[in-house]
Amino acid sequence: MSGGRESGQLNLIPGREPVPGSEISTPPWYGRPPRPDVDPAGIPDSMTCAIPDDTAARTDLVTRFGFEISSCLKCSLGETRTNFVFGTGNRNAAVMFVGEAPGRDEDLQGEPFVGRAGGLLNQIIEAIGFTREEVYIGNILKCRPPGNRDPQPDEVAACEPHLHRQIELIQPVVICALGRIAAQTLLKTTASLGKLRERTHLYQDRPLVVTYHPAALLRNPNWKRPTWEDMKLLKKIHDERVTR
């Protein structure tokens, strides 16, 4: 079983991603060269080039996009971050998890979900037969809010276009929103987590399911059982759409 996916035919190919940033090249369909020292003021809200129907090319675009926005200063969190936390995993993943924002460990390491909540997320991912490497993991915000406070509306407004583009490029078959903030942001709702769970929503025409945030599960282990129900729904949606 694999969370990977071959372009077009949804055919599974287990495999590892190259190290992010190690394989940047300029595909012919891409009009601009990489911009490592891009002027932050000139960072696009989202890139608008066509999305190629080719796995390797799309993977390359995700890497390039992360590179392009990594010096973002569209909100004040850009000034306090240690690292920009773009996302991790298979850039051609069928399953994408979206959390809230980097915490301390993530800010220090530049990778989402590497702290205690991340350890639990890895277990959740493995419980439905995937590995961390074959899914994709990102956040609503790419930079850590000081003291891990909730993301502010202006920060979400500045950062969400990045995630939107990231999802557009990765083209996951199913998305899992982790926790209330991710769910409410992606679904543009103020409904409670309880109301949003146990249903299949759509985000940009892609199925999206909602579950508890792993950090919440650490505080309240009683929510692990309902989380398992959510993960079974996620797996079912995946298996209906991705054939081996």
CA distance linking residue 19 with residue 3, whole number of Å? 18
Residues 65-94, interacting with ligand URA (CB under 6 A)? 90, 92
Binding footprint of ligand URA, residue count (CB under 6 A): 21
Q: Closest CB to ligand URA among 113 and 130?
A: 113
The residue from 103, 145, 172, 207 that contacts ligand URA (CB under 6 A) is 103
d(CA 74, CA 161): 11
Q: Which residues of 97-128 are buried (b: 16+ CB within 10 A; e: fewer)?
A: bbbbbbbebbbebbbbbbbebbebbbebbeeb
Q: What share of the chain is helix, strand, coil (3-state, %, to 5)?
A: 40, 10, 45
Of 60, 68, 100, 155, which lies in the binding site for ligand URA, with binding defined by CB under 6 A?
Answer: 100
- Which lies closer to ligand URA via its Cβ, residue 6 or residue 154? 6
Contact between 55 and ligand URA per CB under 6 A? yes
Q: How far is the CB of 37 from ligand URA (least distance, A)?
A: 27
Of residues 78, 87, 89, 99, which one binds ligand URA by CB under 6 A?
99
| Among the listed residues 147, 143, 151, 145, the one whose alpha carbon sits nearest the alpha carbon of residue 179 | 151
What is the rounded distance in angstroms from the CA atom of residue 26 to the CA atom of residue 232?
40
Angle at 227 between CA 208 and CA 116, to 5 degrees: 100
Q: Does 13 participate in binding ligand URA (rule CB under 6 A)?
A: yes
Q: Which of residues 126-185 bind ligand URA (CB under 6 A)?
A: 139
Q: Is the dihedral of CA 4, 89, 123, 232 positive or negative?
A: negative
- Interacting residue with ligand URA among 66, 102, 151, 207 (CB under 6 A): 102
In angstroms, give the least distance from the CB of 18 to ligand URA: 8
- Which residues bind to ligand URA, rule: CB under 6 A? 4-6, 13, 15, 17, 55, 59, 90, 92, 99-103, 106, 112-113, 117, 139, 215
